[in-house]
Amino acid sequence: MMPKNFLPITSTQVFIKHDHRACARSAMEAAHQLCAARGLRLTPVREKVLELLLESHQALGAYAILERLAQAGFRSQPPVAYRALDFLVEHGLVHRIEKLNAFVACNQPQAGHAPTFMICNNCHQVAETPGKQASGTLGKRARAIGFHIQSTVVEAEGLCAACQAA
């Protein structure tokens, strides 16, 4: 039987040591499948941006992405990065971290999730924990005042376990 307060912290939990390459590879595969299934075009720029984010396992700003794109032979005007990011965010392959004005790859792309993020102020990694829309405290508060939630931002800054130890 599962423990009472089971939280599905998965292999996608960034702070936990794991094989980044394998993790990135499987996320990229998931992205391809998702796009195929929905008839979306994961064009070269879009794929490259996703790849960069998956590799880094950190939040990257649009201009940091732009630099890396340029190094990889893509054009380097801001709209190039922003358009790719818009696409990826719209389809849930990437999330925007408001607190950082930056972006992270989603490691479990799927519809209708409302993830929460833990941002380590020391190692600058960002962990995503899965969440359902309107669950928990926020949903409760919204219902209490008749507020209809369309989207949520839930982010915590602090120190991950490893960085506390060090």
Partner DNA sequence: ACAAAAAGGTTATGATATAACATCTCTAAA
Partner DNA sequence: TTTAGAGATGTTATATCATAACCTTTTTGT
Minimum gap (Å) between residue 157 Cβ and a second copy? 5
127: which residues sit within 8 A by CB, 6+ positions away? 13, 14, 15, 117, 118, 120, 160
Tell me if 98 contacts a second copy by CB under 8 A. yes
State the nearest-atom distance from the C-beta of 127 to a second copy, in Å.
Answer: 7
Nearer to DNA, 79 or 158 (CB): 79
Q: Which residues make up the interface to DNA (CB under 7 A)?
A: 39-41, 43-46, 61-63, 74-75, 77-80, 82-84, 86-87, 101-102
Contact 8, 130 (CB under 8 A): yes
**Residue 90 makes contact with a second copy by CB under 8 A:** no
Is 26 a binder of a second copy (CB under 8 A)? no
* Total site size for a second copy, rule CB under 8 A: 41
Instruction: Find the shortest distance in angstroms from Cβ 155 to DNA.
Output: 14
With beta carbons less than 8 A apart as the criterion, state whether 97 and 119 touch.
yes
Q: CB of 41: closest distance to a second copy in angstroms?
A: 28
Count the alpha carbons within 13 Å of 112 in the hemisphere toward its beta carbon. 4
- Nearest to residue 85, comparing CAs of 110, 61, 111, 108? 61
CB 158 within 8 A of CB 120: yes
Tell me: does residue 9 bind a second copy (CB under 8 A).
Answer: yes
Residues 6+ away with beta carbon under 8 Å from 55: 20, 24
Q: Which residues bind a second copy (CB under 8 A)?
A: 5, 7, 9, 13, 15-16, 98-99, 116, 118, 120-121, 127, 129, 131, 135-138, 140-142, 144-161, 164
